[in-house]
Amino acid sequence: MTAARQERKSPHGRAVLAAPVLVLGLVLGLAATPGGAATTERVVINRYTGVAIDGFDPVAYFVDAKPIRGRAEFELRSGGAAWRFQNEGNRSAFAAAPEVYMPQFGGYDPMSLARGAAAPGDPALWLIARQRLYLFYSVEERAAFARDPDAAIDAAERQWPKVRETLVRD
C-alpha cells in the first residue's frame, strides 16, 4: 500500500507533501495503542486570533484523515485556546475527550522537543501515532519521526517538562 503524494503549500507558506497520514500510519506500522505523550495547557495558538492550530479541526484528522478548517460557529474554548470544528459532532467528540484529539505537546513539534527546543507544528504536517495527533515543523521532521515514532515520542516526553517551562505565558 502506498500513499499518493502531491506537493502543495502549507498555511505557513512552506511546500509540503500532502499524503493521507492514516495511510502513512498503516504503511509505517505505527503503534495502535494509546500514547502517553502529554497534552497541555501550553497550546500553540495564533496570537492574533487566539485560535489553536490555525483553526483546523483536530477531530477531522481522525475521522476524515486530513486537515479540515473548522468554522467559527462550532468553536469551543479548552486548554487556554479556542478550537474550531467543522460540525457539532466533532465539537462534541472533542469536548468529551480533548486529551484524545488535542495535538500532543500542545501542537509543538516532537522532534524539536526531543532536542530541547520548542518549534510550533504546522497543521498541514501531521501523523497519528499511538492513536494521538502529532504536528511537525517540517517535512524532514515528520519523516524522522515516522522512522521510529516510539523513540521520538519517548525522547520528546523526557524533554517536554523542561521545554514547557521556557515557553512564554500569555
pLDDT (tens digit per residue) in 85-134: 999 999 999 999 999 999 999 999 999 999 999 999 999 999 999 999 99
Say what the pLDDT of residue 42 is.
Answer: 80
**Average pLDDT for the chain:** 81
Say what the pLDDT of residue 169 is.
Answer: 62
Closest C-alpha to 75, from 90, 97, 61: 90
Residue 151: is its pLDDT beyond 60?
yes
* pTM given for the model: 0.77
Residue 168: is its pLDDT beyond 80?
no
pLDDT (tens digit per residue) in 108-119: 999 999 999 999
| Lookup: cell for 4 | 499518493
Q: What is the DSSP track for 122-140? A: EEEEEEEETTEEEEESSHH
Say what the pLDDT of residue 5 is.
Answer: 32
pLDDT (tens digit per residue) in 54-78: 999 999 999 999 999 999 999 999 8
Query: 161 or 168: which carries more pLDDT confidence?
Result: 161
| Lookup: cell for 39 | 497534552
Could you give the CA distance from residue 153 to residue 104 in angstroms, rounded to a whole number?
A: 10
Residue 32: is its pLDDT beyond 80?
no
Amino acid in position 170? D
